[in-house]
């Protein structure tokens, strides 16, 4: 049973990841996510089911459009694969159905934000506004933490990021502030604060390595969303253990 569910949820993640690619690319442009149907950005040919199988189409087509031969961005299959693996991970890691679904919702938000940030360097308000009522409703049905901790989490995420945005003068955008308020609402205070610290740590770490390797120049803006995803999901899935381990060192 376990194996069958694992495969189902991996495939579900592949399919949703494919949809999140579309959402993350079209919403910042103000386009509909339904029409026009997916097409090759070079030759405009409408994609058929053979081109749209998540992960596998890219492999079979060797990363090229079947008609015009232009390169397909590897970001698409990477996003699909990542979503699938994270959905599977949430299933394997969760101790209840509610916790698994909560993980999936958080992963979904972070993946869409990642696609938008990689492609357009923005976190669209529209995406955050869609997730707000879904998160509130989910929290009412599945209260994984007390209601006041959700409010405190939202306030903590907002205030911490707003303070950093003010101090750094544009190093942190308004989108990040709203995103962390939304994450705090969903995860509660401890996890959003730890999630931000880990995001900043991962961002700084990779930033320094990339600079040393000459991949980016000083002051060149790099998308923060990959590190937000890494930091927040690490905090979400391992935060409780990390915090109790840390406290055990103190006492």
Residue 42 is a binding residue for Zn ion (CB under 5 A):
yes
The minimum distance between CB 74 and Zn ion, in angstroms, equals 16
End-to-end CA distance of the chain: 42
For 185, the enclosing helix (H) or strand (E) is: helix 174-187
| Residue placing its CB nearer to Zn ion in the complex, 68 or 97 | 68
Please work out the total of residues on this chain that contact Zn ion, with binding judged by CB under 5 A: 6
Q: Binder to Zn ion among 65, 88, 106, 123 (CB under 5 A)?
A: 65
Q: Binder to Zn ion among 33, 68, 197, 215 (CB under 5 A)?
A: 68
Residue 43 is a binding residue for Zn ion (CB under 5 A):
yes
| Residue placing its CB nearer to Zn ion in the complex, 55 or 65 | 65
Residue 52 is a binding residue for Zn ion (CB under 5 A):
no
Task: Give CA separation, 70 vs 3, 40, 88, 184, in Å.
Answer: 38, 9, 32, 42
Q: CA 138, CA 185: separation in Å to the nearest integer?
A: 11
Of 58-66, 74-82, 135-143, 181-189, which segment contacts Zn ion by CB under 5 A?
A: 58-66
| Residue placing its CB nearer to Zn ion in the complex, 43 or 92 | 43
Task: With beta carbons less than 8 A apart as the criterion, state whether 114 and 79 touch.
Answer: yes
| Residue placing its CB nearer to Zn ion in the complex, 41 or 221 | 41
SS3 88: helix
The minimum distance between CB 79 and Zn ion, in angstroms, equals 20
Q: Binder to Zn ion among 11, 40, 85, 200 (CB under 5 A)?
A: 40
Produce one character per residue of 80-90: b if its CB has 16 or more CB atoms within 10 Å, e if not.
bbbbbebbbbb
Non-local (6+) Cβ contacts of 26 within 8 A are 32, 33
Q: CA 242, CA 234: separation in Å to the nearest integer?
A: 10
The minimum distance between CB 43 and Zn ion, in angstroms, equals 3
The minimum distance between CB 41 and Zn ion, in angstroms, equals 8
Residue 61 is a binding residue for Zn ion (CB under 5 A):
no
Q: CA 72, CA 88: separation in Å to the nearest integer?
A: 26
The minimum distance between CB 73 and Zn ion, in angstroms, equals 13
Q: CA 79, CA 21: separation in Å to the nearest integer?
A: 7
Contacts with Zn ion by CB under 5 A lie at 40, 42-43, 65, 67-68
């Amino acid at each position: 049973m376990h194996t069958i569910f694992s495969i189902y949820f991996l495939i579900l993640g592949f399919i949703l990841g494919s949809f999140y690619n579309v959402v993350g690319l079209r919403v910042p442009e103000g386009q509909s996510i339904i029409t026009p149907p997916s097409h090759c950005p070079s030759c405009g040919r409408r994609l058929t089911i053979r081109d749209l199988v998540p992960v596998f189409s890219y492999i079979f087509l060797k990363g090229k459009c079947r008609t015009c031969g232009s390169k397909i961005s590897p970001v698409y299959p990477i996003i699909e694969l990542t979503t699938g693996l994270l959905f599977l991970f949430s299933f394997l890691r969760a101790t209840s159905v509610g916790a698994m679904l909560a993980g999936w919702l958080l992963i979904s938000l972070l993946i869409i934000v990642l696609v938008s940030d990689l492609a357009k360097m923005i976190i669209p308000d529209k995406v955050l506004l869609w997730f707000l009522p879904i998160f509130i409703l989910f929290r009412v049905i599945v209260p994984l933490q007390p209601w006041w901790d959700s409010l405190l989490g939202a306030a903590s995420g907002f205030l911490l990021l707003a303070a950093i945005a003010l101090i750094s003068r544009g190093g942190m955008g308004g989108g990040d502030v709203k995103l962390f308020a939304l994450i705090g609402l969903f995860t509660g205070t401890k996890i959003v604060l730890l999630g931000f610290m880990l995001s900043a740590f991962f961002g700084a770490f990779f930033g320094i390595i990339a600079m040393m390797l000459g991949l980016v120049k000083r002051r060149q803006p790099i998308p923060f969303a990959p590190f937000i995803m890494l930091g927040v999901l690490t905090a979400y899935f391992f935060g409780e253990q990390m915090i109790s381990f840390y406290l055990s060192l103190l006492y």
